Amino acid sequence: MSRLFFVLLQLLLTLAALGATAWGAGLLIFRLPGAIGIVGAIGFGLAGLAGTIGIWSGAPRLPLAFAVLFIGLLGWWAGLKPSHERNWIPELAHLPQMSVAENRLTVTNLRHFTWRTESDYDQRWETRSYDLSRIQGADLFLSYWSGEAIAHLLISFTFADNEPLTISIEIRREEGEEWSALAGFFRNYEMAYVAADERDLIGLRTQARGEDTRLFRLSAKPQQARDLLLAYAADVNRLAQEPRWYNTLTTNCTTVVYHLVGQVAPGWRFSLPLDPRVLLSGYLPGYLRDIGAVRQDMPLDELVKLSHIGEKARSLKPDSPEFSRVIREGVPTGNF
Asked if residue 152 and residue 39 are part of one domain, the reply reads no
Q: What pLDDT sits at residue 22?
A: 96
Average pLDDT over residues 128-136: 97
Q: Which of 78, 109, 143 is the last residue of a domain?
A: 78
d(CA 186, CA 254): 18
The per-residue pLDDT of the chain, averaged, comes to 93
Confidence of residue 266 (pLDDT cuts 50, 70, 90): low
Pick the closest to residue 108 from 165, 37, 27, 69 (CA basis): 165
Higher pLDDT, 4 or 51: 51
Higher pLDDT, 121 or 59: 121
Q: What pLDDT sits at residue 1?
A: 56
Asked if residue 61 and residue 96 are part of one domain, the reply reads no
Q: What pLDDT sits at residue 7?
A: 82
- In this structure, is residue 84 part of a structural domain? no
Q: Which of 27, 50, 78 is the last residue of a domain?
A: 78
Q: How many CB atoms lie within 10 A of CB 112?
A: 17
Asked if residue 142 and residue 241 are part of one domain, the reply reads yes
Asked if residue 284 and residue 185 are part of one domain, the reply reads yes
Q: What pLDDT sits at residue 65?
A: 95
- In this structure, is residue 336 part of a structural domain? no
Q: What pLDDT sits at residue 139?
A: 97
- In this structure, is residue 333 part of a structural domain? no
Share of the chain above pLDDT 70, in %: 97
- In this structure, is residue 83 part of a structural domain? no
Average pLDDT over residues 126-130: 98
Asked if residue 234 and residue 207 are part of one domain, the reply reads yes
Asked if residue 146 and residue 21 are part of one domain, the reply reads no
Average pLDDT over residues 305-320: 95
Average pLDDT over residues 283-309: 93
Average pLDDT over residues 156-177: 96
Look up the domain containing 69 and give its range. 2-78
Asked if residue 144 and residue 55 are part of one domain, the reply reads no
d(CA 53, CA 259): 42
The tens digit of pLDDT for each residue in 72-127 reads 999 999 999 999 999 999 999 999 999 999 999 999 999 999 999 999 999 999 99
Q: What pLDDT sits at residue 270?
A: 54
- In this structure, is residue 35 part of a structural domain? yes
Please name the residues in contact with 266: beta carbons below 8 A apart, sequence gap of 6 or more: none
Decide if pLDDT at 271 tops 80.
no
Asked if residue 74 and residue 111 are part of one domain, the reply reads no
Asked if residue 318 and residue 250 are part of one domain, the reply reads yes
Average pLDDT over residues 131-138: 97
Q: What pLDDT sits at residue 92?
A: 97
Residues 142/285, Cβ–Cβ less than 8 Å? yes
Q: Which amino acid appears at position 9 of this protein?
A: L
Asked if residue 137 and residue 20 are part of one domain, the reply reads no
- In this structure, is residue 104 part of a structural domain? yes
Confidence of residue 325 (pLDDT cuts 50, 70, 90): very high
| Helix, coil or strand: residue 131 | strand
Asked if residue 18 and residue 155 are part of one domain, the reply reads no
Confidence of residue 279 (pLDDT cuts 50, 70, 90): confident
- In this structure, is residue 251 part of a structural domain? yes
- Across the chain, where does the E strand assignment appear? 97-101, 104-111, 114-115, 121-122, 125-131, 135-144, 151-159, 165-172, 190-196, 212-217
Q: Which of 21, 56, 78 is the last residue of a domain?
A: 78
Decide if pLDDT at 336 tops 60.
no
d(CA 261, CA 219): 13
Q: What pLDDT sits at residue 263?
A: 82
Cα 1 from chain centroid?
48
Decide if pLDDT at 309 tops 70.
yes
Decide if pLDDT at 240 tops 70.
yes
Counting every residue, how long is the chain? 336
Asked if residue 308 and residue 214 are part of one domain, the reply reads yes
Q: How many domains does the chain have?
A: 2
Average pLDDT over residues 138-152: 94
Region of poorest pLDDT, from 68-72, 139-143, 220-224 = 220-224
- In this structure, is residue 135 part of a structural domain? yes
